[in-house]
Amino acid sequence: MCVKKKEDSQFYKSGINIEYIQNNVRKSLVREYTYLRKLKGLTQAEVAERAGISRTNISRFESGEYNPTLEMLVKLATAMDLDILVTLKPKNNNDTECDNDVTSSPPTL
């Protein structure tokens, strides 16, 4: 087993908390969204009306109580006249990678 695959299996078995990582990503997203909403001078109610979703869900999202779907994020971005960009990138590791790891540019569609 190559080093990377061994680390991946240990990652899931070692008790490293995936929820901790998810919460950090969510908090970062909420901070960015809330900052942009306020920068644009929009209330939760205004964004909710434009997006066609309930203000309660926006409030729950902003407080971290709600894990938004991609559909909701796209609606929020559209309601605020924003583009949405989701980026996946390799971590900066100095560990030995497997020969068959895909680290080149993404496929062209």
Q: How do the domains of the chain map onto residue ranges?
A: 8-79
8-79 sits in which CATH class?
mainly alpha
- For the chain, what is the mean pLDDT? 81
Q: Is residue 46 classed exposed, middle or buried when 0-12, 13-18 and 19+ CB atoms within 10 A define those classes?
A: middle
Contact (Cβ atoms closer than 8 angstroms) between residue 4 and residue 97: yes
pTM: 0.66
Q: What is the pLDDT, as a whole number, of residue 97?
A: 46
Per residue in 18-36, pLDDT tens? 888 888 889 999 999 999 9
